[in-house]
Structure 1
Amino acid sequence: MSKIVTSANQQNDALFVLIKSLTKSEKRQFNLYVGRLGGNIDAKFFSLFKFLEKLKVYDEKVIINSGIVSKQQLSNLKAHLYKQILISLRLNPAHKNIRIQLREQLDFATVLYQKGLYKQSLKLLEKAKHLALDNEEKNIAYEIVELEKVIETQYITRSLSNRADQLSVQAKELSLQNVLASKLSNLSLQLYSHLLQNGYVKNNEELEFVNTYFYGKIPRYKFNNLGFREKLWLYKSHLWFSFLTQDFLQSYKYARKWVDLFKEDKKYINLHPVFYLKGINYLLEACFLVQKRTTFKKELTSFEEDVAQKNIPINTNTELLIFEYTYTNKLHLHFLEATFSEGEYLVDIINQKIENYRDRLDNHHIVMLYYKIACLYFGMGKNELCIEYLQKIIKSKNLSSAEDLQCFARILNLIAHYECGLDYDLERQFLDTYKFLLKMENLQEVQKVFLTSIRDLSDIFPHEIKNEFKKIHSKLKKYEDHPYEKRAFLYLDILSWLESKIQNKPIATIIKEKIIISKKNRNLHV
Structure 2
Amino acid sequence: MTKGQKDNLFLLVKSLTKSEKRQFKLYVGRLDVNSDSKFLNLFNILDKASRYNEAEILKSGIVKKSQLANVKAHLYKQILISLKLNPSHQNIRSQIREQLDFASILYHKGLYNQSLKILDKSKELALQNEEKNIAYEIVELEKIIETQYITRSINNRAEELISEAENLNKLNVIASKLSNLSLQLYSIILKSGYVKSDAESKEISTYFKEQLPEFKISELGFREKLLLYNAYLWHSFLIQDFSRCFRYAKKWVNLYESNPEMIQLNPVSYLKGNQYLLEALYFIRDHSRFEKAFLDFENRISQKDFPKDDNIEGLCFLYLNNNRFNLFFMQGRFNDGLDHLDDLVKDIRHYQDRIDEHHIMVFYYKIASLYFGVGDYKNCIRYLDKIISNKSLKMREDLLCFSRVLNVVAHYEAGLDYHLESLLRSTYKFLLKMNDLHKVQKEMISFIRGLPDIYPHDIKDAFRGLHQRLKVYEDHPYERRAFLYLDILSWLESRIENIPVNEVIRNKYLAESKS
State the TM-score bracket (shorter-chain normalisation).
over 0.9
In the alignment, the residues of structure 1 paired with residue 33 and residue 7 of structure 2 have an alpha-carbon distance, to the nearest angstrom, of 28
Picking from 9, 12, 21, the partner of 2:15 is 21
Shift in Å at residue 428 of structure 1? Answer: 5.2
Cα contact 2:193–2:396 (8 A) shared by 1: no
Which residues of 2 match residues 195-210 of structure 1 at below 5 A? 195-210=189-204
Which residues of 2 match residues 124-203 of structure 1 at below 5 A? 124-158=118-152, 162-203=156-197
**Paired position in structure 1 for 2:289:** 295
**Paired position in structure 2 for 1:385:** 379
**Residue 109 (1) aligns with residue 99 (2):** no
* Change in 2 beyond 3 A, CA 1:342/1:71: closer
In the alignment, the residues of structure 2 paired with residue 433 and residue 394 of structure 1 have an alpha-carbon distance, to the nearest angstrom, of 10
Shift in Å at residue 376 of structure 1? Answer: 1.9
In the alignment, the residues of structure 2 paired with residue 402 and residue 427 of structure 1 have an alpha-carbon distance, to the nearest angstrom, of 26
Higher relative contact order (CA 8 A, sep 6+): 2
Aligned-residue RMSD, C-alpha:
2.1
1:200-251: CA deviation from partner (whole Å, max 9, x where unpaired): 1111221121011000110111101110100010000000000000000000
**Residue 458 (1) aligns with residue 452 (2):** yes
**Paired position in structure 1 for 2:227:** 233
**Residue 286 (1) aligns with residue 280 (2):** yes
Picking from 479, 484, 495, the partner of 2:473 is 479
How high is the TM-score relative to the length of structure 1?
0.93
Which residues of 2 match residues 107-506 of structure 1 at below 5 A? 107-158=101-152, 162-424=156-418, 426-427=420-421, 429-434=423-428, 436-506=430-500
Shift in Å at residue 143 of structure 1? Answer: 0.6
How high is the TM-score relative to the length of structure 2?
0.95
SS in 1 for 2:330: helix
* Change in 2 beyond 3 A, CA 1:462/1:311: farther
In the alignment, the residues of structure 2 paired with residue 268 and residue 326 of structure 1 have an alpha-carbon distance, to the nearest angstrom, of 21
In the alignment, the residues of structure 2 paired with residue 366 and residue 418 of structure 1 have an alpha-carbon distance, to the nearest angstrom, of 26
User: Partner amino acid for 1:386?
Assistant: C
In the alignment, the residues of structure 2 paired with residue 38 and residue 188 of structure 1 have an alpha-carbon distance, to the nearest angstrom, of 51
Q: Structure 2: 5+ residue runs without aligned partners? A: none
Cα contact 2:192–2:396 (8 A) shared by 1: no
Shift in Å at residue 516 of structure 1? Answer: 5.1
* Change in 2 beyond 3 A, CA 1:405/1:161: closer
Shift in Å at residue 311 of structure 1? Answer: 3.9
Shift in Å at residue 316 of structure 1? Answer: 0.5
Identity %: 57
Aligned length: 515
1:134-156: CA deviation from partner (whole Å, max 9, x where unpaired): 00000000111111111111211
**Residue 44 (1) aligns with residue 38 (2):** yes
**Paired position in structure 2 for 1:73:** 67
Shift in Å at residue 518 of structure 1? Answer: 4.3
User: Partner amino acid for 1:142?
Assistant: Y
User: Partner amino acid for 1:380?
Assistant: V
User: Partner amino acid for 2:493?
Assistant: E
Shift in Å at residue 111 of structure 1? Answer: 1.0
Q: Structure 1: 5+ residue runs without aligned partners? A: none
* Change in 2 beyond 3 A, CA 1:502/1:490: same
